[in-house]
């Protein structure tokens, strides 16, 4: 690479650095925000061992596990409902007619 090329490259590096510096000039961490960040430690609830295991070892976010569990409970509810609590079984019509005929016959006998 020529001397001019190297100089251009160095200039570009300086320009990029300078650009980032300028972009961050006004971005400072004020004391109020610092205190807020420190105080946030009190808002955090400790992670349960089960959750830690699921998130760290198996890489499953717990939020998705609870959502999946909710869906599974609903589906299981529908299945159990259809298996254990069947609706009223319709009576065959001929059986009703037969019963009516029997009762009519009994009335006739009494008469």
Partner 1 sequence: MTRAPGELIKRLLVSDETAYVELVNTYGEKLLHLAYMVVGDRQLAEDVVQESFLALYAKLQNFRGESSLSTWLTRITLNKAKNKIRPKLFQKIAYFWEINATDTAPLPQDNYEKQEKQSIVREIMLSLPIKYRDVLYLHYFEELKIKEIAEILDVSQSGVKTRLQRGRNQMKDLLKERGLD
Chain residues binding partner 1 by CB under 8 A are 11-13, 15-17, 19-29, 33-34, 36-38, 40-41, 43-47, 52, 56
Complex with partner 1: residue 36 or 98, whichever CB lies closer: 36
Q: In terms of CB distance, is 20 or 78 closer to partner 1?
A: 20
* Smallest distance from partner 1 to CB 49, Å: 10
Calpha distance 10→20 (Å, rounded): 16
Nearest CB to partner 1, comparing residues 30 and 88: 30
CA-based radius of gyration for the chain: 39
CA 8, 13, 18, 21: dihedral to nearest 10 degrees? 170
Q: 57 and 46 in contact (C-beta within 8 Å)?
A: no
Give min distance, CB of 67 to partner 1, in A. Answer: 18
**Residues whose CB is less than 8 angstroms from the CB of residue 1 and which lie 6 or more positions away in sequence, other chains included:** 9
Residue 8: CB minimum distance to partner 1, A: 9
């Amino acid at each position: 690479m020529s001397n001019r090329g190297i100089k251009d490259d160095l200039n570009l590096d300086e320009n990029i650095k300078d650009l980032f510096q300028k972009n961050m000039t006004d971005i400072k961490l004020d004391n109020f925000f610092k205190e807020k960040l420190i105080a946030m430690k009190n808002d955090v609830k400790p992670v349960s061992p089960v959750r830690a295991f699921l998130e760290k070892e198996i890489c499953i976010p717990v939020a998705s596990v609870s959502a999946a569990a909710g869906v599974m409970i609903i589906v299981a509810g529908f299945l159990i409902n259809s298996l254990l609590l069947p609706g009223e079984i319709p009576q065959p019509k001929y059986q009703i007619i037969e019963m009516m005929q029997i009762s009519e016959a009994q009335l006739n006998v009494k008469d």
